[in-house]
Amino acid sequence: MIPSSSHHQASPANAAAVYWPYLYSRCNPTAVSTASVSRRKGGQIRFSAEQSLQLEKKFEISQYLSPVERKQIAKTLHLSERQ
């Protein structure tokens, strides 16, 4: 008799979450937490709505920041200078 290996296989819903986490989270909003502020996901930085708004305002004024401006806005928005 061949032992059952069903415990090693993921259900279709779980398989989708493993192979396509972005699509899975878009289809199942309760599958991800809503408190994703400045988290890394798939190499991307997630910003809060307020951080995005402030960064966009600053970008409209000037597309390039001096080192001093970069430090100042990072401190104000609670970000690292590289973000």
Q: What is the CATH number of domain 47-83?
A: 1.10.10
The model carries a pTM of 0.43
The mean pLDDT value for 70-80 works out to 91
pLDDT at res. 81: 82
- Contact in structure between 65 and 73 (CB atoms under 8 Å): yes
What residues contact residue 80 under an 8 Å CB cut-off, 6+ apart?
Answer: 74
70-80 exposure pattern, b = at least 16 Cβ within 10 A, e = fewer: beebeeebebe
pLDDT, residue 63, reads: 87
- For residue range 6-65, what is the model confidence (pLDDT) as tens digits? 455 555 555 555 565 665 555 555 544 444 445 555 667 788 999 999 999 989 998 888
Structure tokens at 45: 């930085």
pLDDT of 75 above 90:
yes
- Cα angle 69, 72, 76 (rounded to 5 degrees) comes to 140
Does pLDDT of 68 surpass 90?
yes
